[in-house]
Structure 1
């Protein structure tokens, strides 16, 4: 018998004899491939990042990391499948604010919460931008947009009811003390096309979706919604700098395991992700998609998620949003 395996058997036997819980993993964990579940389809932004993560995590783990796309029901299928998987570290989920925190408030069928998972590795942060068409008559500052809405409530576009782009605009309106009509679209592409065409006055959307149009001169970013200015938009103020302070608006995401994952396995996964995020190719991919690397500890990650949960879910309830 291999010495590591023999040590594992001895430890297990002693644990049983003493009535101790077997929560630790063997010193040679992992001994088989790790499955990384992605709620989005192949080719999506999350899928691309997950596959790069998987490629660079594998050498650190000494085992392949296999990406599985489990799409459907707004991410519910993927989250429920990982929630019900064995808590052994071999099945992890790549998810973020929208599907982890907002979807359970929108869909009665979700039946999962943050407490059903253990965060094992923070990965990304992605703020939004407050956008208007880059035309002579469009507002040039947040103050001008607020004044325009106060004089004549217009309309704003979103990627759909209950999306982060919808909720982000509602937060802006609430802080500014103005109103506007919501025009939901099927995705950011259609929403931003109509924004550029003048069918709506403004939108809140990710830098990933918007930056191509900002660089081409078709859209103007009035503010970014994070807690600091973005490197790609150094002259664009934050909402707080523009006179509308409050919690940062955006997405944070990372890897999650079923509740109760052994600490040793979680630590190995976290270390592998941190090593992967040091890779220049992965860093370049993040930069190209306007996604920031979330360089915080797991404890800080969980603290941010716990703080964000009542913030987003309270907004969903306040707007009386439900999707069946």
Structure 2
């Protein structure tokens, strides 16, 4: 039936037996992370669609270098794939002059998976009830308040927020979103931007207060929370995203087979429900559009880093 519809018809010259054995999906974050949960979900879908196991392998550490390099250096046969994110495929391309892998030329984009809006939060007992209050305090005392940065990507996005409102604050770096949000909840830092799936449990538990969301529209999980754009920064739109990549020299026919399978799987109602349950949205586009998107994100990030004078290593 699927073949008749053309959903999985192989392009001319494609290997008809792909995949003929299990496929590895490498994730550069530990089990339990949003990227890991998404990878395990799509692995099950791809196994059902393509008839071979898709096995998730977690290789965390080193700013994502370990997992990304393992895939970039893997045989280009379609049996080792990478579930990358803006941290590994955009931020590392900008903040490191010589990363141990090439985030652009070392990979072939397969398909985006999902994007997750972020939320500006403060401690639950903070005096700031709205983003305008926080911005006012930052303007009154330039450089006196601090924010938690769970990763370099979060620092970049917070600096973009600060730039749009012409304010300054001190970044406090953390090794992950979870410890950053823990310190926000404890009142050790004044504010932070966190990905929706990481902050929503803390919001619901009354441990942090949401001031604004970074998406273009309000979120169904936080309908009373305005967007940053509504709060005085028109057009503000940043999000965390995940997508599937292959080593750069994987045959285009295999990329096409994988891309079609991912697209079909992610458009199914249970897939949409799964991603929205994490606070995100399915975010597709195809290999060529994915590459254009990645390059545009790199340029935007490079501009932010330059204007904010963030250190490049």
TM-score for both structures, normalised by structure 1? 0.83
1:172-196 deviations in Å (ceiling 9; x for gaps): 1111001112222333333223323
Map 1:26-45; keep pairs closer than 5 Å.
Answer: 26-45=15-34
CA distance in 2, matches of 1:274, 1:312: 27
The residue correspondences of 1:104-183 to structure 2 (distance < 5 A) are: 104-107=93-96, 108-135=98-125, 138-153=127-142, 154-160=144-150, 163-183=152-172
Distance 1:303 1:156 in 2: 35
Tell me how far apart the structure 1 counterparts of residues 57 and 74 of structure 2 sit (CA, whole Å).
14
Q: Which residue is equivalent to 2:300?
A: 311
Contact residue 24 and residue 263 of structure 1 kept, 8 A: no
Aligned positions of 1:49-64 closer than 5 A: 49-64=38-53
1:91-123: CA deviation from partner (whole Å, max 9, x where unpaired)? 211011011111233333334132321111110
Shift of 1:165: 2.0
**Paired positions, count:** 299
CA pair 188-82 structure 1, distance change in 2 beyond 3 A: closer
Residue in structure 2 matched with residue 6 of structure 1 by the alignment: none
Root mean square deviation of aligned Cα: 2.3
Partners of 1:72 and 1:186 lie apart in 2 by: 10
How far apart in 1 are the matches of 2:101 and 2:287?
Answer: 24
In structure 1, C-alpha distance between the alignment counterparts of 2:82 and 2:48, rounded to whole Å:
19
Matches within 5 A, 1:170-319: 170-278=159-267, 282-318=271-307, 319=309
Secondary structure in 2 matching 1:67 = strand
Deviation larger for 221-230 or 313-322: 313-322
Distance in 2 between residues matched to 1:81 and 1:157, nearest whole Å: 33
Q: Structure 1 92/314 Cα, relative in aligned 2: closer, same or farther at 3 Å?
A: same
**Larger Rg, first or second structure (1 or 2):** 1
Which moved further from structure 2: 124-133 or 240-249?
A: 240-249
Distance 1:241 1:298, change over 3 A: farther
Q: Which of these residues, 62, 67, 72, is aligned with residue 78 of structure 1?
A: 67
SS in 1 for 2:17: coil
Question: What SS does structure 1 have at the residue aligned with 2:102?
Answer: coil
- The superposition leaves residues 7-27 of structure 1 with CA deviations (integer Å, 9 ceiling, x where unpaired) of xxxxxxxxxxxxxxxx94322
- TM superposition shift of 1:284: 4.0
Query: 2: distance between equivalents of 1:138 and 1:216?
Result: 18
Cα–Cα, structure 1 residues 266 and 131, in superposed 2: closer, same or farther, change >3 Å?
same
Q: Which runs of 5+ in 1 are unaligned?
A: 1-22
Query: Do the aligned partners of residues 264 and 45 (structure 1) sit closer, same or farther apart at CA in structure 2, a change above 3 Å counting?
Result: same
In structure 1, the partner of 2:7 is none
Q: Hey, what's the Cα distance between the residues in 2 that align with 1:234 and 1:49?
A: 24
SS in 2 for 1:308: helix
Asked if the contact 1:101–1:113 (Cα under 8 Å) also holds between the matched residues in 2, the reply is yes
TM-score (norm 2): 0.86
By how many angstroms is 1:232 displaced? 0.9
